[in-house]
Amino acid sequence: MSYYRKIIGEKCYLAPVTIEDADQWAAWLNMLEVTLPLGDEAYGTIFPANMREWIEHIIKNHDPVFNIVDLATDKLLGRCLLFSVNHVDRTGHVGIFIGDQEYRGKGYGTEALKLLLDFGFNLLNLNNIMLGVFSYNERALNCYKKVGFKEIGRRRQARVVGGEKYDAVLMDMLSEEFESVYVKKVLNTLSRS
C-alpha cells in the first residue's frame, strides 16, 4: 500500500491514517507485547470494526494521528498521535507504538517521536507536550529521555500487572527544548528559493 508522506525522517515517515489500516491496528492492539506498555488497551479486546469507526472519526475531525511507515519499503510499522491538544494553553499529550516486532529497538520509534514532536511544536505551535509511561517499560523510558523528555513526577504503584506494582512516570518537553528535525529544514529550503 502507498502512503502520503506528511513528515519525513531518514528511516521512516509519518503518514495520514486510512480506513485500510484498521485490520492491522486491531491485530497490533490485541498483542500484549504492544498493549501492555501502552496501558489500558491491554485490558480489552479490539475489533477491526472499532478501529474503522475510530479511524473515520480521526479523518472527519482532522485529529493528529499518524501511521509510522518505513521510508525504504513503505511498510506500516506503527502509530503515533497527539491527543488532549489544548490550543489555548498550547499543550498536548503524545502516544506512540511500533507494532511490527521486526522494527522495535532499531531507532524507528525514536525517529517517529521526533517527527511527531516537530509536527506538534512547529506546526501546531504547542509549547508543552507531555506523556505517561509505566516504570516497567524501560525501552520507552530510555527513548523518551534520549529525545529530550524530562521526568516531572510519578504516581507510585499506579499499575499492578502480574502481581507486581509499578509507578506511572510523567514526562514532558517544552518547545524551547526541542530542535526541529524536518519542519525547519523545509522552511529553510523555501526561503532560499
- pLDDT, one tens digit per residue, over 36-69 is 888 777 788 889 999 999 999 999 999 999 999 9
The pTM is what?
0.94
Query: Which pLDDT belongs to residue 2?
Result: 83
The pLDDT-based confidence of 193 (bands split at 50, 70, 90) is low
What is the C-alpha radius of gyration for the chain, rounded to an integer number of angstroms? 17
What dotted CATH number matches 7-192?
3.40.630.30
Query: Which pLDDT belongs to residue 37?
Result: 82
- Range with lowest mean pLDDT among 24-33, 38-47, 61-70, 158-167: 38-47
Side-chain half-sphere exposure of 59, counting CA atoms within 13 A: 15
- pLDDT, one tens digit per residue, over 73-132 is 999 999 999 999 999 999 999 999 999 999 999 999 999 999 999 999 999 999 999 999
Compute the 3-state secondary structure of the chain and give helix, strand, coil in percent, each to the nearest 5: 40, 30, 30
Look at 133 and 192; give whichever has higher pLDDT: 133
Query: Which pLDDT belongs to residue 178?
Result: 97
Query: Which pLDDT belongs to residue 89?
Result: 98
CB 68 within 8 A of CB 14: yes
Any catalytic annotation for residue 108?
A: no
For residue 131, the surrounding DSSP H or E stretch is strand 128-134
Q: Which of 43, 144, 166, 182 is catalytic?
A: 144
Mean pLDDT value across the chain:
94
Residues 142-162, mean pLDDT to the nearest whole number: 96
Residues 147-155, mean pLDDT to the nearest whole number: 98
